Each structure stands twice: as structure tokens, then as C-alpha cells.
Structure 1
């Protein structure tokens, strides 16, 4: 039986609050290098192609780890998975710094950075499964909204902003050393706060061999569960604009008359807005229903927002605040996909870890599909055509939600109390 936390603050489960702080610290430390690592690798004597190769192999390792993380956490417990992730990160980050970068050894650089790439999904998505297992089912959407807010605040705000302040003073290598302090602190905070949280899974009383049989579910569940397969498609569609616009819109905005700096600020506003809206939609979806929010606000909303993001700057020219408002609108609707985190485990309640693994795999596929669409369509259709393809995918996603059979969503505590008292109540 699933354990439930007893107290919430705007959807944040207070018994897991230390885990959210740890997640924020971890992703900040993990994200410090994103803006400068490739440039630093070139500065120590390697080519741009070498730097790109290092980061590509890292991304592949991280994607595979993200795919497997849910079922691993289901089999051995989220807390153990997080500890393994933290240990791997610290060990291979040290080796990456002193055997790879410091010695300018390309082979060890690739190997150690790739092995470090395995680590962060184990920590992050291990905690995500802990959330799914330990909060009330009707609160998973709000709790996952806080998860993505902490994740974005760490990697997108602190992870990007702090290096810009410190690197001119301490240099790139020392900035990478500071990452160690943040990640080590994240583990101290998270594990101290979560030590009383127990593992609640359908497999908790199963034998080791039975638990190991769960690992292939990360692949087979996608084939045998039709609802999960359709949800997978929607999750891929989810971030098409995120990964696609970062490829095509810099050229479009500068063609209109924006400077590169202005474009980067507009795009940063988009990411900053999602921090607040992730929490908002996580809470609202508890009242309106998971699929309803994803269908009308996520899919239809993003379909419209993509067109606005293209046409408003096109007609108004380099008007910074108009473009910034469009980025906020896009962030508002993009965040309405947050309930997908709660939807996947609800579609496979006996295999929650595998469901989270497939959710993670879909996110990785979106990172691949979005630029692939741009690469194939740009020569024929130009930027306008690519935007229409992305928009069309979102509208198609709204129709696909109709194919997902979801049992009536759990009633809130207030509705349940009303029903118990003889009052009327309805399901989401």
C-alpha cells in the first residue's frame, strides 16, 4: 500500500522538502559547466569537434541512464538509487577534472565524463519516483510541479547565472571544482532529510530475481500498454518547441532585427517563467484533471503559442517586450505538460518505475526529434514551415489524448469528506 505524506504547502509535500532542496543544489552543481565546458575544452588544446564529441557521448550516457533510472529505483529503492547516483557523480567528476582536463587526456576525458553522465538521472529521477510513491495520488501532479521547478531553478537559473559571475574571478577549472561542493552539499541535505522515508513499491516484498525481472519493463511496457504508448508520443511532442526553437529562432529573431543578446534574454525569460508555471499547473491539474490540462492548455495552448512566438515579432519587429510576453505565454502553456509526470505512473500502477523510465526516454527522444524536424524541413519550408510543423504536432497531441483511457481521477480530500458526509462530489 502506498504511503502518503501528511502535510502539504501549496502542493509541496513537507516531509520531502529536504529532497527538493537537495535536487536544486544537485542540478545547480551539475549545470555549472553547460555554458562554458566546450569552450574550455578548446582552450586547453582540443578542437571544437573534440569538445562536441565529449558532450555528445555524455548526452548519450545520460539518456540511457534516464531511461533505466525508474526501474532501477523501483527494484532497489529510490533512496539507494540516489546514493549510487551521488557517489558516481562525485567520483567521476574528480577523475574527469584531474585525469581528463588537468592532464589534457582526451580518452579519459570522454570516459570519465560519460560515466558521470550516468549519475545525475539516478539521483534526480530516483527522487522523482520517491515522490510518486510517497505522496497522495491526487497530489502527485502538484508535487511533480515542485520537482520541475527545483530542477529548473538549479540548472537553468543558478547553474547558468553563477558561473557568469564567478568565472571572471576564479576561472573555469575552479568553477568546476565548486560544482563538487554544491553536489556534495546536495547529498548531505537530501539524505539527512529523507533518511526516514521508506520504499513503497509493488515489488517491496519480492525476491531479488523478481525485482531484476522488472528491468526489461522499461522497454516492454511501451509495447504492451497502449495508453503508455500514446502518452509517450505526447511526451515527445511536449518539448518540441523547447529544443526546436533554440535551433531555428536565433536566426529568425536576428533576421527581424534583434541582437543576439536580446534573443538570449527573451529565451531566458521563457525558462524563468516555467519555474512558477510548473508549480501553478501541478496544483491546478489536481482540480481540472490531468488529461484535461494536458489536452487544452498543454497541446492546444502550445499550438497557438508557437504561432504567436513566430508571428508577433515578425509583424511588430524588434520590440523586446512584445517578444518577452510571447515567451512568457509559451512558458505558461509549456508548463501545462507537468501533469504528464503524474499521468505515466497512473497508467501503469503496478510498474511505476518502468512508467517513469519511459517518461524519461520520451523526454530524450524529444531532444532528438525537434532538431531533426528542423534539419529536414528548413531547406524546403524555411523557419515558418518548421513552426507550423511544431504547432501541428501540438494540435495532433490534443487529439491523441482522446485515445488514452484514464480511470476517473481521485477526488480531493475535500470532495471525499463531502461524500462521506452525504454531500455531492464529482471526480476530476
Structure 2
């Protein structure tokens, strides 16, 4: 993409990058990052209390579990289609669709389903609302990858994940800790709608960047081919398929840990439930800030190396440290805080994968992001499945070794995610200074 020079700049002088550019935020999309943060805070407000609230309203634990399962399935499907639809319609329209789904179904949930205590209407409204946030958030992620120059893309996606995880669940749960005692749970759910509307309006009205307002797929490509291509690219481009598997491994342990670590920390190690919740908060808080750091590191060290060493190898090491360190020290809260924070930090080592994947398929960035999001959705099932299959026969120690082995396997697979060489420019008789030619093919795109 060619970036036009500023006509207002004096001849012979290069405009200095502004503060946003220096920290890795594309200026044209800056309001979008803020909008995603506020939107995801609204989406995450309910994460810490919705389940006990529904149980207190007379819905059984089994039905609540089914409700959350349906929500997870719809969110996974939506994450997969977000890239393909962005290719087809443009990211901004996909974000608008996601916002519309979220807001409309939240009104149905709060205005009709919950007051009537009608379980199946709750199931439909809340379950289908799962289509909302991935379309909005991941649609913006596609917009980021389509607009940001390659040498700054790692930093830009780091800021996206900072906004995404900063809202869900971190700041969303923090907001709820103040609003639930003040407003009550039901009114807090209405307040979450206010936040979502505010975030969506900021992103959709204040971001004027033109590329994301139109389709990204090549001209003439049919809609059905675009949608099917979001799945077929996994085997059409084996590197994309490999990247999707790496993305699945990335957060599989995270979702698996949520199944058995609460019991392990409280019943086996002797921590209180409050201690465990604080440790979990520390893990995610650390992850948020390291999302930014590894975005910057990826742009300098190389996306591939960062994912392989800091993500794959790093998570393998910190997974084993988390188990053996806590077993050796028992209920030592300070050491446990350090160990969970180390895991949260290395988990962010996979952030440059969001820059690497669309660069592997520059003509179908949306399809590549769909594959990446498909891997993210699959991790919500793979992690708990590993725990369900192996916790009984192998115990906590065996499961930790399985996750560590998966992380090492992902590091090895990352070695195959090499970027295509840039096409050689056609020869002409015009002399090009050697220095300029060298600068055009060097830099962060060579990972």
C-alpha cells in the first residue's frame, strides 16, 4: 500500500512521526482501539457474575452450563466468519453487524427473557448474542492488518490485544465490582449495554480510514467462494493451516487450566478461593501488558522468532515451573504470584502470530484471519478436552506435561511459517541508487 506524503510538508523535509505512530498505533485507526476497549469492557462486565446470577434466578447449574456452551459455539463460529465477511463486505460493515446483533439481543435478553424467567428465550437471546462481539472486535483486527505497514504490524496487533483483553475480562470485571454493589446485577447488565453502545459509536463514527469501508477480497471473487475460501485456505495454503494449529495450542492450556487449577490450588495446595481469584487476575493483568511488549519485540526481533521462542518455548517452561514451583512451595502466595505472572507473560509471546498470518496470504488477509480465529475458537474446546481425557489417568502432573509438549510442538511448527519473498520488481533502464534498493527489501518483513 502506498502512503501519500503530506502535501503540507515543506519540500525536502520528512514529516516527523507523531506519538501514536511511535508507540505503534496507526493514527487513522486510533479511535478504533479506544472503541474496542470500551466495547469489550461492556461485553466483559457480566463475566464474573452472570452464572451465579442466573442460578439465583432459579436456573439449574446444568442449564446454565448448556447456555454458556451454546454461547461459546456461536462465538467460535462468528470468530471464524469475521475474516471472510470482512473480505466480502469490508471490516467496518462487519463491525456494524456485530454491534447490531449484540445490542438488539441484549435488549431482548434484559427486556423480555430475564423478567419472564423464560429459559428458552434466554437461551436464544444470549446464545445468539455470542455472534456479536467477535464480528465487532475481530472485524477491527482485520482492518488493522489491512491498513498497517508491515514493519509496524506486530506493534499494532499488540495494541489490539491490549484493548481486547484489557476489556474482557480484566476491566469488565473491575467495573462490575463497583457497579453490582451500587446498581445491582440486573441494572449492571443494562449498564453493560451502555458501554457497548459507547464503544461501538466511537469506533464506527470516528474512524474515517477508507480501506476498511470497502471489500478486501480481489475484484470479481464471488461471495460463496470467499466464504468457502475462509475454510479451504487451511489446506490450500499449508502454512495458514499450520498457523491455525499454533493458534489453537496458544490458549488451549489457558482454557484447560480454568477447568482444574481452581481445585488444584484450593484443595491440593491450600490456597483460599480469594487467593486463587487474585492469582488469576495477576495472570491476565500481566498478559495484557506483555501483549504490547511482544508486539514491539516481534517487529524488531522477527514475528516468527518471537512466537517460537517467547511463545512456544517460553510457555512450555513456565507451564512446568507453574506446577513444580507451586508443589514445592505449597501455599506460598508471593511465589505463586510470580509463577502465574510468568505464564501470563509468555502466553503473550504468540501476539505476533496475528501479524504473521495475514502476511502469509497477502491477497486473502481476511481468509487468513478467519483461519487464525478458527484456531482461537478451537482452543476453547481442545484445552478442556485434554483435561477431560487425561486428568483422571495421568493426574495434574501428566496434564501439565501434555500442555508443555504441545507448546514445544507449536514452537517447532512455527519454523515453517516463513513469509513469501517479495516479488522482484521489473527491470528498467532507470538507474536506482544502490542504497535505496537495499532499503526497499530489508527490514522487519524478513523474519
TM-score after normalising by structure 1: 0.93
> Are 2:102 and 1:86 aligned?
no
Aligned partner of 1:140 among 145, 150, 153: 153
User: How far is 1:203 from its partner?
Assistant: 4.4
Distance 1:392 1:58, change over 3 A: same
Whole-angstrom distance in 1 between the partners of 2:306 and 2:136: 28
Partner of 1:43: 56
Q: Which residue of 2 aligns with 1:24?
A: 37
1:399 aligns with 2:412: yes
Which residue, 436, 439, 442 being the options, matches 1:420? 436
Q: How does 1:6-25 map to 2 (within 5 A)?
A: 8-25=21-38
SS at match of 1:45: coil
For residues 234 and 379 of structure 1, the distance between their equivalents in structure 2, rounded to whole angstroms, comes to: 26
From 340, 349, 361, the counterpart of 1:348:
361
For 1:418 and 1:329, how far apart are their aligned partners in 2? Answer: 45
1:231 aligns with 2:247: no
TM-fit CA distance, 1:201:
7.5
SS in structure 2 opposite 1:239? helix
2:370 is matched with which residue? Answer: 357
Any unmatched runs of 5+ in structure 2? 6-16, 424-432
Offset of 1:153 from its aligned partner? 1.0
Q: Secondary structure at the match of 1:199?
A: helix
Q: Which runs of 5+ in 1 are unaligned?
A: 411-416
Residue 386 of structure 1: aligned partner: 399
Question: What is the CA–CA distance in structure 2 between the aligned matches of 1:243 and 1:173, rounded to whole Å?
Answer: 28
Distance 1:290 1:32 in 2: 33
Q: Which residue of 1 aligns with 2:13?
A: none
Say yes or no: does 1:213 pair with 2:225: yes
Tell me the CA shift for residue 419 of structure 1.
Answer: 4.0
Matched, 1:262 2:275: yes
Whole-Å Cα distance in 2 between the matches of residues 225 and 157 of structure 1?
36
**Residues 229-274 of structure 1, C-alpha deviations (whole Å, 9 max, x = no match):** 1111111111122112222222222212211211111111010011
Query: 2:217·2:363 contact (CA, 8 Å) conserved in 1?
Result: no
Return the alpha-carbon distance in structure 1 between the equivalents of residues 58 and 283 of structure 2. Answer: 35
Give the 3-state SS of the residue equivalent to 2:59 in structure 1: coil
Count of residue pairs brought into register by the alignment: 421
> Are the equivalent residues in 2 in contact too, given 1:3–1:135 (CA < 8 A)?
no
On the 8 A contact 2:304/2:418 being kept in 1, the answer is no
In the other structure, the counterpart of 1:413 is none
- 8 A contact 2:83–2:366 mirrored in 1: yes
The within-5 A match list for 1:139-218 is: 139-199=152-212, 203=216, 206-207=219-220, 210-218=222-230
Corresponding residue number in structure 1 for 2:258 = 246
Task: Verify the 8 A CA contact 1:66 1:122 in the aligned structure 2.
Answer: yes
- Aligned equivalents of 2:132 and 2:215: distance in 1? 25
- CA-to-aligned-CA distance 1:34-59 (integer Å, 9 cap, x gap): 11112222222221112222221111
Q: Verify the 8 A CA contact 2:29 2:209 in the aligned structure 1.
A: no
- For residues 169 and 217 of structure 2, the distance between their equivalents in structure 1, rounded to whole angstroms, comes to 35
Give the greater-gyration-radius structure (CA): 2
Query: 1:83 deviation in Å?
Result: 1.0
Tell whether the 8 Å contact from 1:20 to 1:150 is kept in structure 2 after alignment.
yes
CA contact (8 A) 2:94 2:135 kept: yes
Of 332, 339, 342, which aligns to 2:345? 332
| 1:65 alignment counterpart | 78
